[in-house]
Structure formats: C-alpha cells, structure tokens
Amino acid sequence: MSECLRDHPDLAGWCHSNHAAPAFTDAEVIPIGLRQRDLGVDTLKQTYGILAANFREWFPRLRRYPQWLARLHALSEGIGRLVWASAQLTGHELRVYVFDSKAIQVCQPIRQERVRSLREEGAYGGMTHAGCFFGFKLHMLSHINGVILEAMLTPGHVAERAVALWLSEAIEGDIGLGDTSYGGPSVRSALAEEADLGVVTPGTAGKGRKRRISQVRERIETVLSQLWCAFVDRVFFRSWAGLWNTIQQKLLAYNLCQQGIVSH
C-alpha cells in the first residue's frame, strides 16, 4: 500500500489524518483491519486486541482502539482506491466477467419488524435464492479469473438488474455471466447498447454451454464464500459507512489473495 501511494503521488489526498505526516501512518492503519480475515474473528475490535496484545512490535506507534478505528473509517475512500488498484495488477486479456450478489443480514428475518439497527441507514427486506433476509445486498462484478473489479452496497430489496449497468462501467464490454436475475430482455438490451456487454445466463445459453457457465460461476462463488464465511452472517455496525468500509477491506483482502500478494 505504501508503494502504491509512493508510485502515485497524485493520490496523496487519500490521507485524512489530522497531521500532514502522522507518526502512525495510514500504511500502518489499514493492514490491521485486513488481518481480521486471517484471524477469523467477528469484529475489528477483536482484531485490534489480538494484534495489540501479541504483535505490538509490528506497530510500535500503535494508537488506542478508538483512535485507530476513527482513522480507519476516515480512510474509506483510500481503501476503495486500493481495491481498484489491486484489481489492475494482472491483465484481463480475456474479457469475460461475472455478475454476482450476496446478502448482508442485519438480523434474522423474524426480528426485522422490531430491529432498529441500520434501518434508517437503508436496511430493508430482500429475497435471495436462499430465502428472505433483512439488511443490505452486496452487488459485485468480477473478472473470470476471480478478481473483483467493482462492487456496490444497496438496500436488500434492490434487484441485481437495477445496478448491473452501473457495475459494467468498470469494464470495456464483451461477455458477462450472470444468474437468472440478469436474464431479462430489458437488462440484456441495456447492457448491450450502453456497455457493449453481452449477458449470458444459464437460461439463455445453449445446452452445451449451460453446464460450463454454471461451473465457472460455482468456482468463483465457492472462493468468495470461503473468504467471507466469517463475516457475511455477522454484522456489528451501527452505521452504513462503518459496514461499507469493512466490506471494502474484505474486498481488498480477497483481491490481494487472488493476486498472490498474500497467502490464503
């Protein structure tokens, strides 16, 4: 991350610390949050506690937890840019992409009439292939090699086809693979005309290609599920901003694994 900032000085505006050159740098703040995936704990507070207690020599200028968390959330824009930068480390000569979405539950559906957490921030009831949920929906566009190129967090009732065109702005067209949610004539027509993207779903593919498409999607979805299994069913945030920033850290950690920069 520090190398990325060094190589792209025009992006120095990412830093939102109170001082121009803080002793505890942004390049130290972000890696602590990324370790949540490796440690397999539910919250950032647990992540911070483990590192502070056992690996203090890695962060000799470490600040108290509230200060670190405030700095981390202030770097949300920078983390988003790092997600984008991590996706550009390898070429995407084969322009085949995968649309996908994942439910982010705030609570169990039986409690959705009583829950207040994040309701004013946009949490809403939605449907997936697995059933009903209450919370948000994470929409993603990834390359066929597994690297995530773009993502968007919406209320739970927003359909995949409603954000497909926005996601496609990150690519240069060609072929997009999706499930039946992207198979409607209107969304396929819009993506073809405005994004030069031909969408293929199991329902629109021929018999010979249907199995191959399903295999490609299953491989990518399996990797995503493995990396996020400690997160997607546990939401401990009081704001949309905190939730989104933590999701971006998951996306960054995932891309770094896919690019071979860190181990799985």
Say if 228 falls within a structural domain: yes
Q: What CATH number is associated with residue 194? A: 3.30.420
Q: Is the pTM of this model over 0.85?
A: no
Say if 184 falls within a structural domain: yes
* 51 neighbors 224 (Cβ within 8 angstroms): no
Q: Which two tokens stand for residue 162?
A: 């409603």
Give the long-range contacts of residues 85-89, CB within 8 A, separation 24 or more: 85/4, 86/147, 86/252, 86/255, 86/256, 86/259, 86/261, 87/143, 87/147, 87/148, 87/149, 87/255, 89/259, 89/261
| Total domains in the fold of the chain | 2
Q: What is the pLDDT of residues 70-125, one digit of tens each?
A: 999 989 888 988 998 888 877 667 788 888 888 888 877 677 677 777 888 888 88
Say if 86 falls within a structural domain: no
Q: Which residues span the domain enclosing 207?
A: 96-237
* 170 neighbors 149 (Cβ within 8 angstroms): yes
User: For residue 230, what pLDDT band results from cuts at 50, 70 and 90?
Assistant: very low
